[in-house]
Structure 1
Amino acid sequence: MGRAPWGVDVTGRDRAISLHQRHMLITGLSDNGKTAAMRALALWVARDPGADLWIADLKGPAGWAMFDGIADRLVIGPTDEHVIAATEMLEDAVVEMQRRFQVGGSHRPLFVVVDEAQVAYMCPAKDPAKRPFGGQSNDARYLGAVRKIHNQGRAVDVTLWEATQDPTNQNLPVLSREGNHVRASLVVGTEAQAKMALGEAAVAGGAAPQELRRGLDKGALVVAGSGLEMEPWEVAVTVRTHYIDDATATQIAKRALIARQKAQQASTPTADPVDDLAAILAALRGEERVRTTAVLARLVADRPDRYRPWTAATLTAVLTAAGAPPRKRSTMKVSRTDLLAAIVARDAHQTGAMAGGPIRG
């Protein structure tokens, strides 16, 4: 994947960032280029067919719509329902992370992106067990998933990026912000917010996003942590990020989607004596709807020699080809009813072909 070109520093020097296994936080006041700065990096990732993206945009509807078809998971909208879907997306990333630990080996990089994450942290909704989705309590579901990914995701190539605005201790908990390898801040209002964004050590060393000019320095980020090459004496670097407008971003995304589709076609399993549909049906364990990540984990547990190389994209391709694609509600799930119908249709087609009689769809 290499280093992603992100912008130029105050001397005019090009600055590129390494995204490999680095959790990232971008924050700052609203309408100063936060989404554009993060989206530029996601477009760089999208160009690599060997990397996966899961994205939640809790502002919606613009900004990330061009990733439809590229991101295996895409949540767009500001309501509590969207926060619940974003939380379940992060929890599924934790399941995927645990699956990777179980099977071992190397894995495709998975980048989990949440824009306007403050909406999730401030969400008042609770699940049927009365567990809050937002907040900072020990049982808060969104923060709990964030912490698990921060703590263990790097080891198995599961990386979390969050973008927030106008940081406070309520909408950007300390347990979240301290877990990032890259911390970047647009203009903020106070030194206290600068410390929340970048950490006290970076601010003590001279990082000062509070001195950026709102509006005039739009797109300028003070970046601390790893990822950017820095001189030994530097604790942070100010980068004016490359701006990619919506129309250009859409064109880049279209080219990335075509490249991914070609790569997927080349990697889709061909005819095999193994009955993958029957194996998937068995992995449902009699349940009517099961998350694709859970199905994949069960397949690997049932037959690791066959299914360890599979990804969520492989599973989706096999089901789609059979006429039983996963259905998207709050999360992507495999339907037992759809899968049974696909198996019946396939078997009927094969029986008719062997008998030499007419084949009816």
Structure 2
Amino acid sequence: MTEHLTEKNPAPADFDSIATVTFLRPTLPAPASVPEDNTWSDMPDDTDPAVVIPPMPTVAPAIGSDERTVVLETARVILDKTPAVEPVVRPGRFAGTVDLDDFDDAPLIPAWMYSAEGWAAWAGVFYRARRRDFRRWVRRQPTQHGHVRQFGRGTRRAHEWVVGFEGVRVQSAAHTAHVLTREARLAARHARFTPRILGSKKELAMKAADKATKAAEEAVLLHKKAKKDRNRVRNLRAGVVYGPPLTAIGTGYVMGGGLGLAAGLLSTFAGGAFVGRKPYDEEADWTSDWRSLGDGDRMTAPMLDASFRAAKVIGAEETLGVVQMPMLDTRGAWTAVLDLPPGVPAKKAIRATDELAAAFGVEEAQVSVAKRGRAGRIELYVARELPFTDKAAPGPLLALESAADFWGRISIGPDVRGIHQSISVVERSGLIGGEPGAGKSASGNTILLAAALDPRVILWLADGKGGGDLEPFEHLCERYEGDADPEAFNAMLDELLDVMKARYALLKKLGKRKVTEELANKYPELRQLLLWVDELMLYTTAEEFGKKITRKLRNLVSRGRAAGIITFCATQKPGSDVVDTSLRDLLSIRWALRCTTPEASDTILGKGAAASGYSAKTIQSEMRGAGLLWAEGTNPTMVRADYYDDDQVTALIERATEWRRKAGTLPNGPVPLVDQLRARGDDDALLLAAVLEVFAAQATEDDPVDWLPGQLLVDELKAAGHSVTAEKLGALVVRTDEEKAKRPWGEKKTRVTGYPLARVEAAATDRFGLTA
């Protein structure tokens, strides 16, 4: 104990080891059985020393004036009278070494458990536990782990083990025996009906018959031996599998009657359930139920054989040769390289794409079959999901840091395998077709933007739609027709034919046969020229100019390739009534987007393409921008065009404009109507130019002006030095009665007559043959 002093004066030396003691008055008297001298000699043997309490003073000492002194004195008295506690050992019971294995006479199970209440509690716990076990057993039965299903699986596995694989050998021997027997029969018939006068032929026929007969007899003997071996092995296995259950059931019935029979059946059931305790693996459980890729199963060799047989590509007894085992690629699609049976061409499998898709349980667009290396080898690609339905990745043109190269390969887009496809358009021409909304404009942008980003390419564009899809490219074009006017397009083609003639004249002078990249870089007039015609149908079906346009386009496509002129046409359905077959067959690059019928697809890809398995009808409506591209190789390829939204197209055109400005190939923009009128030099032209300048001066960026009062125009013209009156202006700009109607003007909203801006521009263009 440690003394805690609160006084400033230190305690005496003999108090160092004495603690402050607080006296606690006891509440219970000392036990009567404890002697005053604290000895245990007179204690009975059955007294527990744990309940003996040493004596304590029952009266608190008087506390005088010095409380600290009294407390310390009391502590000394208590410590002096309290003997040191020594371990007490009861004689006999705890004497000597304690045996830890001696658990006394106390039972491990409490005595109350043997009472009626204890037995009732134990019975209740047991009942509830068994009831829960029964409920779990009942819930387990409908599952794969139910005992009935386990017994069924065990019975099936045992029977399959009994049957074994020897039957395959028997069937093979039987097939061989049947074939050789038929051949022996034919050889014997041939020998029988061969005349003896033929001499050596009769002898040879007899020898062949004997040889065939011996081979057939040997085959029959081998078949009988195979059957005997099969039956022997099966009997042995059957004895091992079915012997113990039958013995248990029979012995139980003989020895125990009905109860023994029940015990034998129960033991048989338990053994079968034990054998079938593990369920079949779902992926390897090839039961009679049809499994397919559409159900999420994996592609295996048995599935391929079954699918190709169902599609009538191979016969019922034929199998495929697996060159590359089916595997999943990074896009989660199944791919395999297969060899068809001898005599089956690859085009038969390609034509059966629809049937293969039905056999695999997927959409037609998810299956792709292509020839691989040789005539009988194919590459099968089956996507798990419908391709080209996800968001298109940014096109590669956005990453260009310098001008594009239109002489090289042009990026088109990814195919179904994710491999990026590109084409070369040098000395070629193309046709893009598909139903409305299939993505012709987005697909055409891949080629148009690539041409625009090459400052060396000359652009001639004609928009037969008149909808403004090509309008962003207008300032980059040397010639542009955006009003869907067949007459204007016909005049453009006349001008382009003159350009082609000039190019051939220069090539002849240089002693060259065709335009190359070196020549184009050396002679700017030989640069590549792209003629893009959108909605060709509007031009070729025009009554007055349709045939002329078709004839001139055919001339350009057939002769313009060597002169560096590339022609691309886009239309909805390029049938013979829209594009003459003599022109369509000259367009070497074909891109068929989604079509409603196989015939419409054939009008783009060519006659017989759909029958060969290449039909744009299989393209789903969700696959925007996807189409069959036939540019290189012997077969079309399913490709989705790189997509560029309106903002990206605007950014790329701005980039192309800057690059062309630096290269000095940016065409001069359209001349304003005012400048055209001033260039005429006529008094009336100058007066109309002044009127247009008044309109421009009155307009602001936020408030364009499309109508001005006549008096205001006259005053402004006079102030500019023109001699004009209201009558002269009215005679120069003839208005309709509706246009002469008065309108409010000024702060007071006074109604006055005036001139619309559109009428002034129309008067200028009609009178002098100008363009606004």
Q: TM-score, normalized by length of structure 1? A: 0.66
Question: 1:238 and 2:620 equivalent?
Answer: no
CA distance in 2, matches of 1:148, 1:327: 32
2:643 partner SS = coil
| 1:296-347, Cα deviation, whole Å (9 max, x unpaired) | xxxxxxxxxxxxxxxxx7xx76xxxxxxx98699xxxxx9x95999xxxxxx
- Give the match for residue 494 of structure 2: 91
Q: Is the 8 A contact 1:39 1:64 kept in 2?
A: no
Q: Is the 8 A contact 1:4 1:17 kept in 2?
A: yes
- Give the match for residue 409 of structure 2: 3
CA distance in 2, matches of 1:50, 1:142: 27
Question: 1:261 and 2:661 equivalent?
Answer: yes
Q: How many residues align?
A: 257
2:538 partner SS = helix
Q: Is the 8 A contact 1:202 1:224 kept in 2?
A: no
1:6 partner SS = strand
Question: 1:196 and 2:619 equivalent?
Answer: no
CA distance in 1, matches of 2:531, 2:499: 12
1:238 Cα deviation after fit = 0.8
Letter in 2 for 1:123: A
- Give the match for residue 332 of structure 1: none
Question: 1:44 and 2:450 equivalent?
Answer: yes
Aligned CA RMSD, in angstroms, stands at 2.5
Rg larger in 1 or in 2? Answer: 2
Question: 1:12 and 2:412 equivalent?
Answer: no
Map residues 1-361 of structure 1 onto 2, 5 A cutoff.
1=405, 2-78=408-484, 82-104=485-507, 105=510, 106=519, 107-124=526-543, 132-134=544-546, 140-200=547-607, 202-213=609-620, 215-226=621-632, 230=633, 234-264=634-664, 338=679
| 1:263-311, Cα deviation, whole Å (9 max, x unpaired) | 117xxxxxxxxxxxxxxxxxxxxxxxxxxxxxxxxxxxxxxxxxxxxxx
1:179 Cα deviation after fit = 1.0
CA distance in 1, matches of 2:623, 2:648: 22
Long gaps (5+) in structure 2: 1-404, 511-518, 520-525, 683-772
1:168 Cα deviation after fit = 2.8
- Give the match for residue 184 of structure 2: none
Q: Is the 8 A contact 1:90 1:112 kept in 2?
A: no
Q: Is the 8 A contact 1:202 1:235 kept in 2?
A: no
CA distance in 2, matches of 1:338, 1:100: 31
1:53 partner SS = strand
Greater strand share, 1 or 2? 1
CA distance in 1, matches of 2:599, 2:428: 25
2:638 partner SS = strand
1:243 Cα deviation after fit = 1.1
Percent of pairs identical after alignment?
27
1:253 Cα deviation after fit = 0.7
Q: 1:77 to 1:49 in 2, by over 3 A?
A: same
CA distance in 1, matches of 2:425, 2:672: 29
CA distance in 2, matches of 1:201, 1:192: 9
CA distance in 2, matches of 1:49, 1:187: 33
Q: Which has the higher contact order (CA 8 A, sep 6+)?
A: 1
CA distance in 2, matches of 1:247, 1:326: 24
1:194 Cα deviation after fit = 1.5
CA distance in 1, matches of 2:558, 2:449: 26
CA distance in 2, matches of 1:264, 1:49: 8
1:254 Cα deviation after fit = 1.0
- Give the match for residue 354 of structure 1: none
Q: Is the 8 A contact 1:6 1:40 kept in 2?
A: yes
1:151 Cα deviation after fit = 1.2
1:62 Cα deviation after fit = 2.4
Q: Is the 8 A contact 1:24 1:183 kept in 2?
A: yes
2:652 partner SS = helix
- Give the match for residue 359 of structure 1: none
Letter in 2 for 1:102: A
Greater helix share, 1 or 2? 2
Q: Is the 8 A contact 1:30 1:166 kept in 2?
A: no
CA distance in 2, matches of 1:157, 1:23: 11
1:16 Cα deviation after fit = 1.1
2:475 partner SS = coil
1:143 partner SS = helix
Q: TM-score, normalized by length of structure 2? A: 0.32
